[in-house]
Amino acid sequence: MGDPNDTICALSSAPGRAGIALIRVSGPESLSLIREVFVTRGSKPAPRRAVLGTIRDPEGGGKDLDQVLVTCFPAPRSYTGEDVVEISMHGSPVLVSAVLDCLCAKGARLAEPGEFTLRAFLRGRMDLSQAEAVQDIIEAKTLYQAQVAARQRSGELARQLEPVKTLLIDIIVQLECALEFVEENLPLESREALGAKLEGLQGQLGAWIESYRRGRLIRDGFTMAIVGRSNVGKSSLFNALLRQERSIVSEIPGTTRDLVSEEMSLDGVPVRLLDTAGVRVSGDRVEQLGVDRSLRAMAEADALLLVLDRSEPRAEEDDCLKGRMAGLPCVVVFNKCDLEAAWPDHEQTSYAGCWPSVEVSAKTGWQVEHLREMILSQLFGGRPAERDGFLLTSLRHCQCMENAERGLTRASEALRGGLSEEFVLVGLHDALRRLGEITGETSVEDLLTEIFSRFCVGK
Ligand SMILES: Nc1nc2c(ncn2[C@@H]2O[C@H](COP(=O)(O)OP(=O)(O)OP(=O)(O)O)[C@@H](O)[C@H]2O)c(=O)[nH]1
Ligand SMILES: [Mg+2]
């Protein structure tokens, strides 16, 4: 990243032609710089008030570039915590680059990706987890994802962490005092009480780490492959779930030859749904290549829908497929339930085993809604929106928590093993530092470049 004391500028709205474009300028020179290039007939720009005027290029013979609205946000009440100016102008790429050139000629430089938000973090306008959430909000593909990210942007993670850190600091202080001021070691009762407190903290961190399993799926979405032998109705189910005729359906076995992929939202969770070639041994080379792809997709997917044709007796391929799926999250779908059943009820139950199963008709749409709910409950233990409370959605946060939990475990073991306070304190300080890394309280410079380089320019 460039010098954090420069004045930076960038197009903050999406590039390309649009009704309006927004240029943002931030840094110590932004207000004086705008005075040089912005001409208004009426009032001068007042804090947080949009003023109509013209951007005039003083270098280019004083020619008018565009009629614009300028809003000034003097420090510290701005996005970055510095003096910020926002220029709303006509969304013409040619004019936008002319205005940016004009600002740069006056001493600003083009911002690097994420630099505005990095400054907001460095100037204490937001903690690190809030800054990361800004990008998550922008990248959200569903409203639910955006809502989860907005909660983090509002500082939810820091609020959740606060009592845990307070308790940890409290324990550290007790042990430090025992070390400093008491001749003897900590009495046994206190050790037991501290041990119980540590266990409580470990439990809390463990629950958050576990929540990442669901949080990750909400933030990044998941891939779900529809698998089964040929002609059982995989493509019909794929279309029914998508509510569009995306995949070719026909009564000829071996219709789907390649993977067909489509994005959909399940209760706000983005899902990449895959239709696969029916698994069977085929003399057709192309079909066999498709089957190989199906098997690979099965191994790589986060979840599976195993489709069976309930109107036909169980086949060898059904069992062969099931054998490959052990341990994977799966819902077993008995399809073609509008036709007479060829499977006895008890066989359906025993076949599904520990996986949840559902009877549907992809052709008529019967029970397809129920299948959607089952997929969510299989992956989230319920609809994500009802259950979540608080979720960890970032791998970085989860790793910090895991490191903190390891520190606590070391401290607990030292405490139970009767070791001196110093040994317990090492683990506790480490845990506190790791928790601090989540919100950026401790030294995190090495993390910054990585986090902010993923931002888009203008944010
Ligand atoms: N009666 C009935 N027919 C169905 C149902 N689902 C699919 N079919 C029919 O079964 C045949 C095969 O359907 P597809 O969806 O192409 O099956 P597939 O599993 O994708 O087949 P491959 O791509 O060849 O592996 C078609 O004639 C469908 O109309 C259902 O629920 N009920
Ligand atoms: Mg198909």
Locate the domains of the chain by residue range. Answer: 8-126, 139-217+394-440, 221-387
CA–centroid distance, residue 438 to ligand 1 (Å): 49
CA–centroid distance, residue 230 to ligand 2 (Å): 7
CA 444 – CA 360 distance, rounded (Å): 52
359-365, long-range: CB < 8 A, 24+ apart: 359/310, 359/334, 360/237, 360/333, 360/334, 360/335, 361/335, 361/336, 361/337, 362/233, 362/236, 362/237, 362/239, 362/240, 362/335, 362/336, 363/233, 363/236, 363/336, 363/338, 364/338, 365/240
The protein residue with its alpha carbon nearest to ligand 1, atom 23, reads: 256
DSSP for 70-132 reads EEEE-TTSSSSSS-EEEEEEEE-HHHHHHHHHHHHHTT-EEPPTTHHHHHHHHTTSS-HHHHH
Which residues face 68 on adjacent strands? Answer: 53
Q: In this structure, which topology does domain 8-126 adopt according to CATH?
A: Gyrase A; domain 2 (3.30.1360)
Instruction: For domain 139-217+394-440, give the CATH number.
Output: 1.20.120.430
Name the nearest CA neighbour of 275 among 312, 313, 301: 301
CA–centroid distance, residue 362 to ligand 2 (Å): 12
CA 327 – CA 308 distance, rounded (Å): 19
Half-sphere exposure at residue 408, Cβ-oriented, CA atoms within 13 angstroms? 28
Residue 451 to residues 81, 154, 183, 306, Cα–Cα distance (Å) = 19, 18, 47, 39
Bin 18: left if φ > 0, else alpha if -120 < ψ < 50, else beta: beta
Retrieve residue 320's tokens. Answer: 């062969």
The answer, yes or no, to whether any atom of ligand 1 lies below 6 A from the CB of 231, is: yes
How many other CB atoms are there within 10 angstroms of residue 372's CB atom?
Answer: 16
What is the model's pLDDT at position 443? 46
What is the model's pLDDT at position 385? 53
What is the model's pLDDT at position 382? 62
CA 273 – CA 361 distance, rounded (Å): 18
| Phi (first) and psi of residue 410, to 5 degrees | -60, -40
The answer, yes or no, to whether any atom of ligand 1 lies below 6 A from the CB of 438, is: no
Q: Which ligand 1 atom minimizes the distance to the CA of 232?
A: 19
Which ligand approaches the C-alpha of residue 249 most closely? Answer: 1
Tell me the pLDDT of the chain (459 aa) as tens digits.
788 899 999 999 999 999 999 999 999 999 999 999 999 987 777 899 999 999 998 776 778 999 999 999 999 999 999 999 999 999 999 999 999 999 999 999 999 999 999 999 999 999 999 999 999 999 998 898 899 999 999 999 999 999 999 899 888 887 877 776 655 555 555 788 889 999 999 999 999 999 998 888 888 889 999 999 999 999 999 999 999 999 999 999 889 989 999 999 998 889 999 999 998 877 778 878 888 888 888 888 999 999 999 999 998 888 888 888 888 889 999 999 999 999 988 889 888 888 999 999 999 999 999 999 999 888 777 665 555 578 899 999 999 999 999 999 999 999 989 888 889 999 999 999 999 999 987 544 544 554 566 566 777
CA 367 – CA 289 distance, rounded (Å): 33
CA 129 – CA 113 distance, rounded (Å): 17
Ligand 1 pocket test, pick from 309, 334, 363 with the greatest ligand atom count within 8 Å of Cβ, gives 363
What is the model's pLDDT at position 115? 95
Residues 6+ apart with CB under 8 A from 51: 40, 42, 43, 44, 45, 69, 70, 71
Q: In this structure, which topology does domain 221-387 adopt according to CATH?
A: Rossmann fold (3.40.50)
Name the nearest CA neighbour of 274 among 286, 263, 265: 263
What is the model's pLDDT at position 31? 95
